[in-house]
């Protein structure tokens, strides 16, 4: 289920986006932890830094 649409989610990270006019350099950097999504309306998750392209690892937040 996670594979459906995950590439689009990764391309549009980080979430939430910084506010307009907010100059936070750190918020412009996309790391796995900034890729966030809602899984099956049960919980929220972010990608784990230990994930690879062939092995999806997520953390419940």
Q: What's the CATH code of the domain at 25?
A: 2.40.240.10
Cα Rg of the chain, angstroms: 12
Give this prediction's pTM: 0.44
Please count the structural domains in the chain. Answer: 1
Tokens of residue 20, six digits: 């307009």
Q: Which two tokens stand for residue 36?
A: 């966030």
Owner of token pair 């994930």 = 51
Per-position pLDDT tens, the chain of length 61: 566 788 888 888 877 777 776 665 555 677 888 888 776 667 888 999 999 989 999 998 8
Task: Name the DSSP letter for residue 56.
Answer: -
Asked if 48 and 59 touch (Cβ cutoff 8 Å), the reply is: yes
Taking the C-alpha atoms of residue 14 and residue 35, their distance in angstroms, rounded to an integer, is: 6
* Structural domain span for residue 35: 6-60
């Amino acid at each position: 289920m996670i594979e459906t649409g995950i590439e689009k989610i990764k391309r549009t990270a980080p979430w939430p986006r910084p506010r307009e006019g907010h100059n936070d350099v750190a918020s412009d950097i996309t790391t796995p932890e900034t890729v966030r999504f809602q899984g099956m309306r049960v919980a929220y998750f972010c990608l784990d830094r230990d994930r690879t392209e062939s092995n999806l690892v997520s953390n419940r937040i």
